[in-house]
Homo-oligomer: A and B are copies of this chain.
Amino acid sequence: MQRNRNEGTAPVRVALDAMGGDFAPEEMVKGAVQVIDSLNAELILVGDPEPVQQELSKYDVADKPITIFPSDGKIGDDEHPVQALRQKPKASVVVATQLVKQGQADVIVSMGSTGGAMASSVLALGLMDGLERPCLGGPFLGLAPNTVLVDIGSNLDCRPRLLLSFGVLGAAFARTYMGIENPRVALLSVGSEAAKGNRQVQESYQLFQDSRLNFVGNVEGMDFFTNKADVIICDGFVGNILIKFTEGLGGALADYLKNKLSQVMPDDAVDKIASDLWETTNRPRTVGGGPLFGVNGAVVLGHGSCRAEGVAGAITTAVRYVNVGLVDIMRTELATITSSSRSREAG
């Protein structure tokens, strides 16, 4: 269906949802222009032609591989994703997804409605075997930049088998994308012993133990900071609460610290430290986006609040995601586990 251009020679064709995000299309276009020279990529800006062209005309891009592909409208954060898909079949994120489906692009990048992008991706590209919905994963803390959390928020009620799938996807990401050899996978729980945890974790433990994953057991909340695991697995309910809690805490701490330090340091030094602190509790602004795991195609989603710097980061992520061939690797590994556990169930 989609091509994974992991030869690393052909330019990666990125379909950027130019209308998605709080500062679209301005910051989307700006980010695209900023990053194009540093990547072996072609950028396709998918959006309402007029405003996108207007933004693009601010830059001297005549000789750069940036094109506009027309769409009509966008899916807002406040819309019900599936209804919106029906009502707006030409919305930017839908058209961008179609480009990947039809082989005209290799990866989608969107800072728009997460629900809209997920629904559109599932509909156009399909889910990998064994999954009920896609999931979101990746490092989420500046303080623990190499610790991958899956699921960050889309699968709220998870059976053990689904958690195991998250483990496979997270481990593939950690190994292939982040370069962590034989990543240590753990279940997030309330104690390190096998018997510690809610029913979901207790039932999942043995399944992880029996899998081919490098399962290191349960970890606890503080273990995001103790380097006991590379990939930490929880359901999307816990993951979503954790990531939003962290963002809230980071903002509150930055304010608190600003207030404390402004009495003893010059303002610009205070701002720098508060901003650095904020980044330790959030995904760095420059990273911009993370991959959507589990769909049969490369999709990178970013925070709606991203500015050009974040958009550039997300595009860079997307190019790397395609070049390492992660989608195929994930699908293959997921299928292996699915079939081995099926034959075990049958046998």
Q: Which A residues contact B (CB, under 8 angstroms)? A: 143, 153, 156-157, 188-190, 197-199, 201, 220-226, 234-238, 240-249, 251-253, 256-257, 260-261, 264-265, 269, 273, 276-277, 280-281
A78 shortest CB reach to chain B, Å: 11
A245 touches which of B199, B201, B221, B251 (Cβ 8 Å): B221
A249 touches which of B236, B246, B261 (Cβ 8 Å): B246
CB of B280 within 8 A of CB of A241, answer no
A156 cross-chain contacts in B, Cβ below 8 A? 190, 197-199
Give the distance in Å from the alpha carbon of A190 to the alpha carbon of B235 in the complex: 12
A241 touches which of B238, B246, B257, B281 (Cβ 8 Å): B238
CB of A241 within 8 A of CB of B244, answer no
CB of A225 within 8 A of CB of B252, answer yes
A266 shortest CB reach to chain B, Å: 10
CB of A280 within 8 A of CB of B264, answer no
Give the distance in Å from the alpha carbon of A240 to the alpha carbon of B218 in the complex: 14
CB of A198 within 8 A of CB of B235, answer yes
Give the distance in Å from the alpha carbon of A285 to the alpha carbon of B188 in the complex: 27
Best-buried of A143, A188, A269 by chain B (most CB within 10 Å): A143
Given A237-B197, A241-B188, A241-B220, A260-B248 contact (CB < 8 Å): no
Give the distance in Å from the alpha carbon of A284 to the alpha carbon of B143 in the complex: 23
CB of A221 within 8 A of CB of B241, answer yes
Chain B residue at smallest Cβ distance from A201: B237
CB of A240 within 8 A of CB of B221, answer yes
CB of A277 within 8 A of CB of B257, answer yes
Give the distance in Å from the alpha carbon of A108 to the alpha carbon of B153 in the complex: 41
Give the distance in Å from the alpha carbon of A189 to the alpha carbon of B220 in the complex: 20
Give the distance in Å from the alpha carbon of A269 to the alpha carbon of B277 in the complex: 18
Give the distance in Å from the alpha carbon of A248 to the alpha carbon of B219 in the complex: 12
Chain B residue at smallest Cβ distance from A153: B190
A76 shortest CB reach to chain B, Å: 15
Give 6 nearest A-B pairs by CB, closest first. A221-B244, A222-B248, A221-B245, A156-B198, A190-B240, A225-B248
Chain B residue at smallest Cβ distance from A155: B198
Chain B residue at smallest Cβ distance from A256: B280
A252 cross-chain contacts in B, Cβ below 8 A? 143, 225, 280
A248 touches which of B221, B236, B240, B261 (Cβ 8 Å): B221
A254 shortest CB reach to chain B, Å: 11
CB of B273 within 8 A of CB of A237, answer no
CB of A190 within 8 A of CB of B241, answer yes
CB of A242 within 8 A of CB of B256, answer no
Give the distance in Å from the alpha carbon of A213 to the alpha carbon of B110 in the complex: 41
